[in-house]
Structure 1
Amino acid sequence: MTAEICVFPLTCRIGKIRAVAANLVASRSEKIAKAYRRQITAGLVSHMERNGVPQHEQGERLFEFWQAVHTEISKRIEGAA
């Protein structure tokens, strides 16, 4: 018997997405933003590994998360204009 793990989708973590977007927008330099992105990615990968998300699915989940972050950044920039 095999079991499938159903993890709460990263794209539904609206608070996390908004917080990451806000921190990236507020970053003082590209170097700081890049380090922050690596830190967040490492944390999300670690979280998925602990919860048993297969490695072949992790990349897709991360892509969707970062896509949601970029959408949130776009909304913030458009709203400020």
Structure 2
Amino acid sequence: MTVQRTDPHESKFQSDCELVPFPLPNRVGKIREVACKLLDRASDKAVAYYRKQISESIDAQFEKIGLPESERRRQITSFWAAVDHEMLKQSHVKNSPGGAA
């Protein structure tokens, strides 16, 4: 990604830099929160709507900071894989004998 400064008080220059966001699959708190909320949704329609809301919110945040679309998609796909994995873990714990409720 090329960054170009347009402030008249700064010297004009071009700089090649790479924007590296904190990886979404490592945002454990967010993943657990979303997984828990999805497990509490009453219908498939409610789950689909919530997933769409979350995806659009994440995409908008990444677009705002200038992350390329391909990287935004990769991050969001990885995030949902982590959420799905967390949902399986939470479901397993709830359904296990002696597991936490």
Query: Of the candidates 87, 90, 96, which is equivalent to residue 73 of structure 1?
Result: 87
Larger RCO (CA within 8 A; separation ≥ 6): 1
Q: Which has the higher helix share?
A: 1
Segments of 4+ moved more than 6 angstroms: none
- Unaligned segments of structure 1, at least 5 residues: none
| 1:7 and 1:51 in contact (8 A); partners too | no
Say yes or no: does 1:23 pair with 2:32. no
Q: Percent identity?
A: 35
| 1:11 and 1:68 in contact (8 A); partners too | yes
TM-score (norm 2): 0.77
Equivalent pairs, count = 81
Q: CA RMSD in A?
A: 0.8
Query: Of the candidates 68, 76, 79, which is equivalent to residue 54 of structure 1?
Result: 68
Q: Which has the higher strand share?
A: 2
